Copies of this chain bind each other. A is one copy, B any other.
């Protein structure tokens, strides 16, 4: 038997390799170049991370900086491994411990970031649906509860949405589409949302250009005739895969002179039009949607921390670098500057860690 097969020695070797090679940070490649978090290379073994987290939460006071340094710089898979190791080593749930040690917006950010992403989105959507069911009058800000549903359905990968639906079923004893169908939004919004959350858009780079051209025309006809809820629109936006839709949106702009989201905005001001526009953006230009969402959360009187946190946590591993670029162009300022100006303390620190460096 070789010594390296012996678990404790194996762990020690990992520790040694880690310290000898140093903590050289690099941008995360695994989740695509557009992810903003900086994962150290080499990454410490999960048991070592769990051990350091334990030190940070034990005793008098909490070392929040350490928690941010570790959890804020690990991928979803790495965070899951850390949580497993933490539970195994200390016989308590990492999430429970974070909940009892931390507070306020910092706590909710750390928890949303540490929990499994599919479970996180299932919870966010459920909260959005319950919020509406609490019979709040549908104020302007309540629209953002619909956006949560649209984002999870349209700005996720098909397999992530599938995982969210499974997580939703096991957490809430009802299916996501069932709860959306019985929520109190009126048709056609409700019907549209059911279609969006039920869809499994295949991932394929093949595009049928002829279809894209003809569906761009169908969309334009409906939108400019002020019938955004026409069944062709619902069918195309609910069912087509993203590559196909991107081609359709490109044809829309080429053939009709205006981007589809701008057209939706100028030809209709109903709640349905705004939901449709959010879906179109999440499917075709998610970075624009999230730049708008973040801007909304920061602008005006007070900050909408829930929205800000959701946008940053859910996109840090997906396309935050894109969002930062678009933000600069759209609002002539950097996301870092905005977040720095509007938040404080450890909450600010974790957000800036997730946003990553601005070039």
A202 in contact with B162 given A177-B239, A178-B240 (CB within 8 Å): no
Min CB–CB distance A259 → chain B (angstroms): 24
Chain B residues with Cβ under 8 A from A174's Cβ?
Answer: 202, 241
**Cα(A182)–Cα(B178), bound, Å:** 24
Query: What residues of B have a CB within 8 angstroms of the CB of A181 in the complex?
Result: 235, 239
Collect the chain B residues with CB atoms within 8 Å of residue A177's CB: 198-200, 239
Question: Which of A92-100, A163-171, A266-274 binds B?
Answer: A163-171
Contact of A206 with B by CB under 8 A: yes
Residue A262 CB within 8 A of the other chain: no
Is A204 an interface residue, CB under 8 A from the partner? Answer: yes
Contacting pair B200 A169 (CB below 8 A): yes
Contacts of A240 in B (CB 8 A): 178
Q: How large is the interface on A (under 10, 10 to 19, 20 to 34, 35 or more residues)?
A: 20 to 34
Are A241 and B198 closer than 8 Å at their CB atoms? Answer: no
Copy count, this protein chain: 2
- Contact indicator A165/B198 (Cβ below 8 Å): no
Cβ contacts under 8 Å, A235 to chain B: 181-182
Q: A173 to chain B: which residues have CB within 8 Å?
A: 202, 204, 206
The docked-state distance in angstroms from the alpha carbon of A168 to that of B165 is: 19
**A132 near B: Cβ within 8 Å?**
no
A170 / chain B contacts, CB cutoff of 8 Å: 202
Q: Mark A313-344, 1 if CB is under 8 A from B, else 0.
A: 00000000000000000000000000000000
Question: A145 to B203, alpha carbons, bound, how many Å?
Answer: 27
**A201 at the binding interface (Cβ < 8 Å):** yes
Within 8 A of B (CB), among A229-266: 235, 239-241
CB-nearest residue of chain B to A206: B173
Is the CB of A175 closer than 8 A to any CB of chain B? yes
Q: How far does the alpha carbon of A203 sit from the alpha carbon of B169 in the complex, in Å?
A: 8
Q: A175-B201, A177-B239 are in contact. List 10 more A-B contacts (CB 8 A).
A: A169-B200, A169-B203, A175-B239, A177-B198, A177-B200, A181-B235, A181-B239, A194-B195, A198-B198, A198-B200
5 CB contacts below 8 A, A to B, read A168-B202, A175-B201, A175-B241, A182-B235, A194-B195
